[in-house]
Amino acid sequence: MNIDGKHFRTIWVDDDEWTVGIIDQTKLPHVFETRALKCVGDAAYAIKEMLVRGAPLIGATAAYGICLALRENASDKNLEAACQLLMATRPTAVNLRWALDEMMHCVRSLPREKRVIAAYARAGEICDEDVETCRMIGVHGLGLIEKIARAKKGKAVNILTHCNAGWLATVDWGTATSPIYQAHAAGLPVHVWVDETRPRNQGAALTAFELGHEGVPHTIIADNAGGHLMQRGEVDLVLTGTDRTAASGDVANKIGTYLKALAAADNELPFYVALPHTTIDWSLMDGFEIPIEERGSEEVTQMSGRTAEGEVITIDIAAPGSPAANPAFDVTPARLVTGLITERGVCAASLDGLLGLYPERGE
C-alpha cells in the first residue's frame, strides 16, 4: 500500500526485531498513526478493539501475538493461555483460528528455547504468504474486469464494494480490492462505488482512504443507494470480501452484504467474492452455522467524525433510550454468489467448485 508515496504493509516487526508495528485503523481516515504491540495483551486488544481488522490481518496479528507471548514465557501453559486469549477476541473471521493452528503446529513440538525464533519466522511467513495470495487473487480477478471492460468498449467499469476488503484488511493488496488495483495499474478504466458500511463506516473511512491514496476513481455512497444504482445500470460488478466462507460456498461478510447480493441477483449483475484459502472453513457445510459477532449498540446509536476545527469527536444520533441491535456480519447463500475469486483461480460457490481448486481437501 502507498501512503504519500511510501510503501507500507499493515503489520511488521520493528528494527529491534521483536516489537510488532501496526497501523491504528480506529484513527483513520483522519490520522495515520502507527502503534507498537509489545505483549500478547496488546495484540488481543488491537484485534478486539479493531485497531486491526479484516480477516487476514486479524490472523496475522494473532500469529504475532503468539510470538510476543512466547517471548515473555515459552512454556506450554503460556502458549495455551495466549491461544485462548487471542481466540476469544473476535468470533466470525476464521483466519484467526487458522493462524493460531498454524502457530501451534509450528512451535508445540519444539523445545522451549527454540520456540521464539521459530514463531517469529512462521508469523513472518504467514504475512508474506498473505501478500502473495492477495496478489494472485488480483491476477485472477483482473480477468473478470478485463472482460467487462472489453464489452464496455473503453467506458469505465463500475464496481460496487462493501466494507473494507482492501490492503487494510490484509497484509497488503487486499482481497476484493486486489483485482481493482491491478486493473487500475494496467490502465483499465475503473470506478468504485464505495458503500459507507454503517455502523463502523469501514467503506467511507478505510476503503475510500485506500482508493484515494492509490489514485483509483471512486465515490462513497450510502449503503441504501446500491440497489438504485444497479437498477439504473450504474453498476457492472459487485465485488466483496468475506470473513468466513463455508465449504458449501455460503459467504459470511460485513452486515449488509446479503442485501447487495439480493439486489445484484434481481438486476442480473455478477456478484463475486474474493478470498484467500485461509478464509475457507472446510469444517462447515452450512454458512448459517458461522458464528455472527454481535457488537455494542453504541456503534449504531453514535457516530464519530472530525469537526471543522480538526477535533475528532463522537456524537449521539439516535433517540435517547431507544435500544439498538448490532449484528456485525450476515451470510449470503451460495446461490446468490456468481463466483469465488481465490489465489488459485475463480470457481463456483459450491463444494465442487472449491474442491476443483483445492483437490487436496477432498482426499
Residues that bind ligand MRU (CB under 6 A): 53-56, 163-165, 169, 175, 202, 240-243, 253-254, 328
The least distance separating ligand MRU from the CB of residue 10, rounded to whole angstroms, comes to 11
Measured from the CB atom, is 169 or 349 closer to ligand MRU?
169
Amino acid occupying residue 174:
G
* Nearest CA-CA partner of 288 in 330, 348, 228, 256: 330
Distance of CA 253 to the CA centre of its chain: 9
Beta-sheet pairing, 244-246 with 237-240: unpaired
DSSP 88: T
Measured from the CB atom, is 81 or 324 closer to ligand MRU?
324
Measured from the CB atom, is 106 or 206 closer to ligand MRU?
206
Check if 243 is active-site.
yes
The least distance separating ligand MRU from the CB of residue 311, rounded to whole angstroms, comes to 25
20: helix, strand or coil: strand
84-170-193 Cα angle (round to 5): 130
For 158, the grid coordinates are 463500475
The least distance separating ligand MRU from the CB of residue 51, rounded to whole angstroms, comes to 11
CA quadruple 166, 170, 173, 175: dihedral sign: negative
Length of the chain: 363
| Catalytic-labelled residue, pool 172, 243, 250, 281 | 243
**C-beta of residue 66 within 8 angstroms of C-beta of residue 29:** no
Distance of CA 164 to the CA centre of its chain: 6
**C-beta of residue 194 within 8 angstroms of C-beta of residue 204:** yes
Instruction: Find the residue with minimal CB distance to ligand MRU.
Output: 241
172: helix, strand or coil: coil
Measured from the CB atom, is 50 or 82 closer to ligand MRU?
50
The least distance separating ligand MRU from the CB of residue 84, rounded to whole angstroms, comes to 20
The least distance separating ligand MRU from the CB of residue 279, rounded to whole angstroms, comes to 7
Distance between CA atoms of residues 38 and 22, nearest Å: 11
Measured from the CB atom, is 48 or 191 closer to ligand MRU?
48
